[in-house]
Structure 1
Amino acid sequence: MFSAYVLKTLLLLSLSTAVHAGSCDLPDAAVLHSVKRVIDADTLELADGQRVRLIGVDAPELGYRGQADEPFAREGKQALEEQLRHVGWQLWVASGEDAQDRYGRLLADLFLPDQRSLQAWLLEQGWVMQVHVPPNLRYADCYRVAEASARKARLGIWSLPAYEPGIASTQIPEGTRGAVILHGAVVRIGQSQANIWLNLEGGVAIQIPRDALHRFSEPLEDLQGQTLRVRGWLIPEETRHHQWRIRVEDGRALERL
């Protein structure tokens, strides 16, 4: 367990609606499956051949085609394999509201046979970071609390500066890929017909769709000049105004520093 101080800190930093510890209770619609193999710490293959991408978390990337593994990618995969061996390679699978990604993988919240959340376990161990992809936010508050304990203890990925405090928006390393945590000052706020744009120093634009504004409790115009920490997928995009873009559709992906 973690202290009331950690919970209070999360409440103060959040740009989302008030955080409740929530619960990761097994839903009635969950189905018990056998697991064939672990692909990495956020992707599995079931015995029936279906690949499953875990909702709400992102793991460091394993190296392919001559690339090196990202730190803790191999350790996270091995820890998940050991956990599944311990429970006989069985998991409860609960499909998300959006049940399939663009690669055809099933999007699901997973549970161990004793009904404990697999995502929460991975977050508590520091093998993965939380991500927020609507509409699959059913356990977002529960996952946030699980991650907070690993962050406080500097477990796994949270022992790395790239995660805590994150990458400076002015010093993004060449070759950065996948989900990241960045921090930087808001130097400009722009608007278009479909989006609000928070432009960070260093040429990073946070794209917030207008149709997602109901998931942000704080007025975005109040963030001018503030330093933020943002998490999401970093997309290279050379334009007149910025070199990088991160799309954010939930206020829990932003923290005011």
Structure 2
Amino acid sequence: MHYLGVIITLIMACSVVSADIYRSVDAQGNEVFSDRAHSSAEKAEQHPSFYRYRVRLKRVIDGDTLELESGEKIRLIGLNTPEVESRFTQQQAGGRQAKQWLNTTLRSPVLFIEYDQQLYDKYGRRLAHCFLENGDYINARLLETGHAMLTLIPPNLRYAERLIAAQNQAESKEIGIWSMPAYQSKTLADFTPGVSYRGWQRWQLTVKAISRGKQNTTLLVTDKVSIQIANRHLPLFDGLDRYVGQQLEVRGWISRRGEQHIIRLVHPSAIILL
């Protein structure tokens, strides 16, 4: 067992209820993880589910990333905060406030972290849920105070419903990012083909049709804009046909190739029916 160098204590978090995660294999042989059971799915083992590790914080890097005294970097699961200025990133609205809030909240260096199904991100950072000694769930607190955007990525869905509820609180109160002009919902009247839209976005769109491919399913909006879902994530989405002809708010990041803009989604929490 890997103890992150300076981890002192391993405790059983008996008070935590873990959502079941189901595993299946699609027609292309890809592993698919879902929080819903399907006929061909089997319950996935959640090895680190009930364990929290006592660690010591070295510093807050930004609103969603920590560095431990061991040197290990921790990326908080289920959310994204605006960027702070660094050698690699430009300052985004709300980034400084998110980092300040996290610095203030994590006054004690003692934290408890809990892993989910996927342990590392593509940058080699540990993915974790973070708790204070009193049990406060930091990931959820960042969302309910309006300092973060919900970003659920399978298979790390253990606290999905709790995180969704936390964001709903902030959004209904219009606090934090929900009050900032940079994160207000845009319509296609605001859209300019060929322009790069940086950072987390909210777009009001109407799906015209659905195109199904071997690897991806595409929700067609215009000849320049589409929503793309990898087929391995489709078990999470309850009937895409219901979105056709409906006005939606889609949340996430837009990638651009020439004048083509694609919003890639991995979880249905990024689609809001209007």
Which of 200, 206, 212 matches 2:227? 206
Aligned to 2:102: 80
Aligned to 2:197: 176
Paired residues in the alignment total: 227
Does residue 123 of structure 2 align to residue 106 of structure 1? no
Partner secondary structure for residue 253 of structure 2? strand
Does residue 80 of structure 2 align to residue 58 of structure 1? yes
Aligned to 2:209: 188
Partner secondary structure for residue 149 of structure 1? helix
Identity of aligned residues (%): 35
**Higher gyration radius (CA):** 2
Aligned to 1:9: none
Partner secondary structure for residue 84 of structure 2? coil
In the TM superposition, residue 248 of structure 1 has moved relative to its aligned partner by: 1.5
Letter in 1 for 2:52: A
Preserved CA contact (<8 Å) 1:184 1:201: no
Q: CA RMSD in A?
A: 2.3
Pairs within 5 Å for 1:77-226: 77-85=99-107, 88-164=108-184, 166-172=185-191, 174-201=195-222, 203-217=224-238, 219-226=239-246
In the TM superposition, residue 233 of structure 1 has moved relative to its aligned partner by: 2.8
In the TM superposition, residue 206 of structure 1 has moved relative to its aligned partner by: 1.1
Preserved CA contact (<8 Å) 2:74 2:127: yes
Does residue 69 of structure 2 align to residue 47 of structure 1? yes
> Within 2, Cα distance between the matches of 1:64 and 1:172?
29
Preserved CA contact (<8 Å) 1:93 1:111: yes
> Within 2, Cα distance between the matches of 1:180 and 1:158?
12
> Within 2, Cα distance between the matches of 1:172 and 1:54?
32
Letter in 2 for 1:53: R
Q: Deviations over 1:126-174 (max 9, x none)?
A: 000101110011111001111111111111100024434x233453575
Letter in 1 for 2:225: V
Preserved CA contact (<8 Å) 2:83 2:89: no
Aligned to 1:233: 253
Aligned to 1:12: none
Q: Relative contact order, CA 8 A, sep 6+: which one is greater? A: 1
Q: Could you list the runs of 5+ residues in structure 1 that have no partner in the other structure?
A: 1-15, 18-26
> Within 2, Cα distance between the matches of 1:90 and 1:180?
34
In the TM superposition, residue 97 of structure 1 has moved relative to its aligned partner by: 0.6
In the TM superposition, residue 203 of structure 1 has moved relative to its aligned partner by: 2.4
Preserved CA contact (<8 Å) 1:169 1:203: no
Preserved CA contact (<8 Å) 1:59 1:129: yes
In the TM superposition, residue 65 of structure 1 has moved relative to its aligned partner by: 4.6
Which of 7, 14, 34 matches 2:56? 34
Q: Deviations over 1:56-103 (max 9, x none)?
A: 000011133597521111011011101111xx1221111221110111
Q: Deviations over 1:102-123 (max 9, x none)?
A: 1100011111111111011111
Q: Could you list the runs of 5+ residues in structure 2 that have no partner in the other structure?
A: 1-34, 37-48
Aligned to 1:253: 270
Preserved CA contact (<8 Å) 2:196 2:256: no
Summarize the Cα distance change of 1:92–1:67 in structure 2 as closer, same or farther, 3 Å threshold.
closer
In the TM superposition, residue 220 of structure 1 has moved relative to its aligned partner by: 1.2
Aligned to 2:261: 244
Preserved CA contact (<8 Å) 2:93 2:182: no
